[in-house]
Structure 1
Amino acid sequence: MSSFELLPGAPASPVLLHVPHSARAIPEDVRRGIVLDDAALERELDHITDAHTAELAGAAAALATVTPWRFVNQLSRLVVDPERFPDEREEMTAAGMGAVYTRTTHRSGLRPADTDPEPLLERYFRPYARAMTEAVAGRLAATGRAVVIDVHSYPTEPLPYELHGTGPRPPVCLGTDAFHTPPELTEAARTAFADCGGIGLDSPFAGTYVPLEFYGTDARVGALMVEIRRDTYMAEPGGPAGQGLDRLATALAALVDAA
């Protein structure tokens, strides 16, 4: 199984919808390194997976006037989390939820604390990062700019792993970056999601994803994280999608067109 898929859009589109946390698949050899039994693992996947976000991105791409490109992770973030740093540069690593998780959403053990992350980083994390870098470079070469829109979701109630879970939890949270998120992109998102129940900035999750080759140095790469509160479109923690998904897909398509 490939760990990711790049779905082509229109040649003239600078937009790349990035869906990193929608999948539940875990290769069997990776599963053997996880200490949870099958039932506990399924419960953890219910909590940690941004369920239906690949479906959301696909529906938005179909609705958009100019079809965006999509980069979709095919494996669970319990294999590797492609949006973490692979070293000790962030607080989530210290909490056991860096690029290779050793703790669960409820701070219990997922893998032994002394697990060597290197085999998983080499097999999954680095190829994913290279491919995402190439995807962004492709949009730059074709259109002169790139806009990475990260598609995520989050639970209605904070989970124990959230280090900054005490702030507002609006129906739509926009994560921004001081360098890569121009004001006009934020305003376009506010307009697009205006009828989705309320919008906030950088709470409960902040920041954006930009490949390290471009991060903080190439202003041609714009980025915005779109976090959807799960009760607005699905049954929590890991249930089916509801009617709210259609409204969100229409809003995301409007953002794609504006970008």
Structure 2
Amino acid sequence: MTPAAPPSFALLPGAGTSPVILHVPHSSREIPAEVRPGIVLDDAALERELDHITDAHTAEIAEAAAGLAGLTPWRFVNRASRLVVDPERFPDEREEMAAVGMGAVYTRTTHREVLRADGTDPEPLIERYFRPYARAMTDAVADRLAATGRAVVIDVHSYPAEPLPYELHGAGPRPPVCLGTDAFHTPPALLAAAREAFAPCGETGLDSPFSGTYVPLDFYGKRAEVAALMVEIRRDTYMTEPGGPAGPGISRLAGALAELVDAVSR
């Protein structure tokens, strides 16, 4: 029997009494060898695309925040690039980003160039990568609910200082920290805590240029005990764009994220 392939994600345990899951879906540049033949870009073009599409250093920000927090949060980290699958997209017609070839399986790049050939069947990647990720994240949230009576999913993302061609809502404000919300799953207290925690990092904006939050579909719109917030950090505040090294801003952001974790943990 062929052994099962290892998962392309990791759940890193926190304190048993912590309700918080730091979700880091887009920090990796890793593309498994089995996936690479389906991508039409040459190696140099692929590296350039990874520079633009990867939320660089967000896993490090989450890791540092977890170390600083008074009650260690759990972390769910995608180990594969979002060019493999994007675990935060709907895998069906509900996904608006499919209009620019960036549904659960991308067929276009950030500059709307061809990434995968037209007619590519997304199902093998959905089955191998997307569904196991969704199941594991669902289980992680269910575990926090069982252990603490609630779960708080904090999505850790970043975005470029200047809009890229793929962005559907790139004409609006681009603050140092954008807070993405959901009418059902983002309670006012969570949003207020985030604004206070990130105030030392500069202006915080709301749902621009990116909006919404990630909640596993089993709980979405059904369980108010599952709270969620997306934290989108503008990349020029902590790194050299595109795809360059982190700078001193990363420590300030990690401290702010840890403060948010402590506030919602209380």
TM-score when normalising by structure 2: 0.97
Structure 1 moving runs of 4+ over 4 Å: none
Aligned to 1:242: 247
Offset at 1:94?
2.1
2:207 aligned residue: 202
Question: What secondary structure sits across from 1:234 in the alignment?
Answer: coil
* Corresponding position of 2:3: none
* Amino acid across the alignment from 1:134: D
Pairwise CA distance, 1:2: 2.7
Q: Is the contact between residue 147 and residue 223 of structure 1 (CA under 8 Å) also seen in structure 2?
A: yes
Alignment match of 2:119 (pick from 114, 118, 122): 114
Are 1:88 and 1:94, in contact at CA under 8 Å, matched by a contact in 2? no
Q: Is 1:165 aligned with 2:170? A: yes
For residues 55 and 95 of structure 2, the distance between their equivalents in structure 1, rounded to whole angstroms, comes to 21
Q: What amino acid sits opposite 1:8 in the alignment?
A: P
The amino acid of 2:13's aligned partner reads P
User: Hey, what's the Cα distance between the residues in 1 that align with 2:95 and 2:46?
Assistant: 25
Partner of 1:132: 137
The unaligned stretches of length 5 or more in structure 2 are 1-5
How many pairs does the alignment contain? 259
* Other-structure match for 2:28: 23
TM-superposed CA distance for 1:28, in Å, is: 1.0
CA distance in 1, matches of 2:202, 2:90: 33
- Please name the residue that 1:71 is paired with: 76
What aligned pairs does 1:39-54 form with structure 2 within 5 A after superposition? 39-54=44-59
Q: 1:17 is paired with a residue of what secondary structure? A: strand
Query: 2-side partners of 1:225 and 1:118: how far apart?
Result: 27
Question: Any idea what SS the aligned residue of 1:254 has?
Answer: helix
Could you tell me which runs of 5 or more consecutive residues in structure 1 were left unpaired when the two chains were aligned. Answer: none
Residue 88 of structure 1 deviates from its aligned partner by 1.2
The two structures, once aligned, show a CA RMSD in angstroms of 0.5
Could you tell me which of 98, 101, 104 is aligned with 2:109?
104
Distance 1:164 1:98 in 2: 16
* Structure 1 contact 168–203 (Cα < 8 Å) conserved: yes
